[in-house]
A and B are shown apart, each in its own frame.
Chain A
């Protein structure tokens, strides 16, 4: 009797669990700050920042200052800061605390940065750059920065933070040494560094992409958002902006987390296509774009309107299929700027306190020129890498040897 009771209870529990799985689709049951529900419009996204949204919206239209053909040296709305206190002669040693090179975007940037380093070494501005790679771990990067402070003998600290809040104390400790600190890519919650280099930002990406989709779709059309990971601020801001704009325009947007796994992306799109029509695809990064497009091919339906990224795989597939698309960028050439900024600091030149680099998407008219310039590059290469005038172009990027 006891045995069958146990079996019965477990069976009831299992049925109950399935029922629960069904119940969780009720938006009212979802916790208030969760905006991950597919058809959400009630909950407010905690990442949305109206002020920043407006600032970045405006910055998209500003013509950057700086050399015409060197976007990595251009800046937008800059407030200059005086660096004469750091001026000194002789080659300097740079210490670079890198978050990781765990995705193709960062790998491309890292190769570009090293070629830039060679140029500066020849000019005598930088003697060497010691690098510690934190492999995506906050804890490791904090230890890396502390090691540089104690044993690194650094003249300048270059930091690409793994995350914003967690790295702040370590960056402050670096500032306390009195040596110049340059932060790029993600920011930190202190303005003690000499300069913070970054493209316009995630909200601008969201605005550019959402606007493109809205312009090319109709109200009531469905857009599937493919997102890599939750909780990464540069990615969350992109979606926050896009989601708001989709809401305002009456576009139905559902988002999924894919982990950048192409198999997962294909499955998600196939399921969505089986449920109904999908008119547009929005991605917060270019990895796996090809798999998404192929899902449409496999299902035998028309191509969607799509935004990807300036990764070569997407650009090539875009050209090949002729779909209506846009390639937003997160300015890969920003990897050149930190070392150049270091050079300027030691020369005593003024540089922007917050160095906002231009961030302009690749449109259908521009695709051909970028494809031609990057012919022969691997699929994981990024078109706006900004290294065409560096030594080693194009072989170093084609062979993609990580230094």
Chain B
């Protein structure tokens, strides 16, 4: 009974939704109940879930990272162009991609904390600049897919296992990344991030170096995007459309998981569950044969409903306690600093994902 109650609670709402969606999928198409199919589903979710983990850390600190999608595209193209067909380059290029990812995160973080530019603006600018630079470097299209050894990370796995038959590497990497994420949330860094998201001024007065804490959140986010890119090189191949709009999907996943935009609250596992919910929703729409043109509408309705539901339940439990939490945005730090603006970011991927064909 208590388990059921937990499921209906705001913390558990996303898991309830996930269960409903997966059951619906299996009812409509019993093929999906096979372990092999489930593994493939998780393999598909893995890049999105890893990006959601990165976005989680940024959002609980009260910021946003809109540059994840462009970073994925950039990393994917870097992998394609630099590895080529040369197996020996796999490891050095991986190292380069990690360094590049950390660098982008560092720049995002420093611009947000030291120059006090709102993170929405910084990451928006980074999104435009990064994608433009990569496309300019490659002339708009990648050279080609890298060698299979590199792509095995995203495509391959351990085969011929009992029961599940095929365990993709992506699933293992996701599990490891999630474990790392949970570990960070238990460490001082994780707690400081939540503290900064909740009340930045108090955290600063208590002696934390808030600029370094927030910057590390951005670096985690960019690193997550890099790992996701490595998986996508394998799963999807190298193409300038890979990764477009992933920041939007990540933010939606995180919010579905009950993390509050504006920071200060949220559970990382719920954020990952949000990513699973989104993919399950797409899967359900595919299986149910919903007409392509209506899919966006259904998706929109469900997202609003799910967020409204978890918000509703959460608030009704808090009523009688403290006042309702502030609307998104951290408090302005008068008198010594400019605001850390963290309210709602913009939709990425719209317009830009246009492949206007001739």
Interface on A for B, CB 8 Å cutoff? 3, 6-7, 10-11, 13-14, 17-18, 20-22, 24-25, 30, 34, 36-39, 99-107, 109, 111, 136, 160, 162, 185-186, 228-230, 232, 234-235, 255-257, 259-263, 265-268, 270-272, 274-275, 284-285, 287-288, 290-291, 294, 298, 313, 330, 378-381, 399-402
> Which residue in B301, B316, B354, B357 is a CB contact (below 8 Å) of A7?
B316
Cα distance, A7 to B357, chains bound together (Å): 47
The contact sample of 16 A-B pairs, CB cut-off 8 A, is A17-B298, A17-B301, A18-B24, A25-B289, A25-B290, A102-B354, A102-B356, A107-B141, A136-B354, A229-B356, A234-B358, A262-B239, A274-B37, A275-B287, A284-B357, A379-B144
B32 on interface, CB distance cutoff 8 Å: yes
Instruction: Write out the residue numbers on chain A whose beta carbons fall within 8 Å of the beta carbon of B354.
Output: 102, 136, 229
Count of chain B residues with Cβ under 8 Å from any Cβ of A? 61
Instruction: Write out the residue numbers on chain A whose beta carbons fall within 8 Å of the beta carbon of B263.
Output: none
- Whether the pair B293, A230 counts as a contact (CB closer than 8 A) is yes
Tell me how far the C-beta of B181 lies from the nearest C-beta in chain A, rounded to whole angstroms: 22
- Whether the pair A107, B139 counts as a contact (CB closer than 8 A) is yes
Most-contacted residue by chain A among B140, B142, B285, B356 (CB, 10 A): B356
- Whether the pair B139, A260 counts as a contact (CB closer than 8 A) is no
Tell me how far the C-beta of B305 lies from the nearest C-beta in chain A, rounded to whole angstroms: 5
- Whether the pair A268, B286 counts as a contact (CB closer than 8 A) is yes
Interface on B for A, CB 8 Å cutoff? 8, 20, 24, 29, 31-32, 37, 40, 44, 47, 136, 138-145, 155, 232, 235-242, 244, 282-294, 298, 301-302, 305-306, 308-309, 312-313, 316, 319, 351, 353-358
Tell me how far the C-beta of A113 lies from the nearest C-beta in chain B, rounded to whole angstroms: 13
- Whether the pair B290, A262 counts as a contact (CB closer than 8 A) is no
Cα distance, A265 to B282, chains bound together (Å): 13
Cα distance, A160 to B357, chains bound together (Å): 12
- Whether the pair B290, A290 counts as a contact (CB closer than 8 A) is no
- Whether the pair B140, A229 counts as a contact (CB closer than 8 A) is no
Most-contacted residue by chain B among A234, A259, A261 (CB, 10 A): A261
A228-B235 contact given A24-B291, A30-B291, CB 8 Å threshold: no
- Whether the pair B32, A274 counts as a contact (CB closer than 8 A) is yes
Contacts A105-B357, A262-B241, A401-B139 known; list 13 others, CB within 8 Å.
Answer: A7-B8, A22-B288, A24-B298, A100-B356, A160-B358, A260-B355, A263-B232, A268-B286, A274-B32, A294-B237, A378-B139, A378-B144, A379-B145
> Which residue in A229, A290, A378, A379 is a CB contact (below 8 Å) of B355?
A229
- Whether the pair B141, A3 counts as a contact (CB closer than 8 A) is no
Instruction: Write out the residue numbers on chain A whose beta carbons fall within 8 Å of the beta carbon of B306.
Output: 14
Tell me how far the C-beta of A266 lies from the nearest C-beta in chain B, rounded to whole angstroms: 6
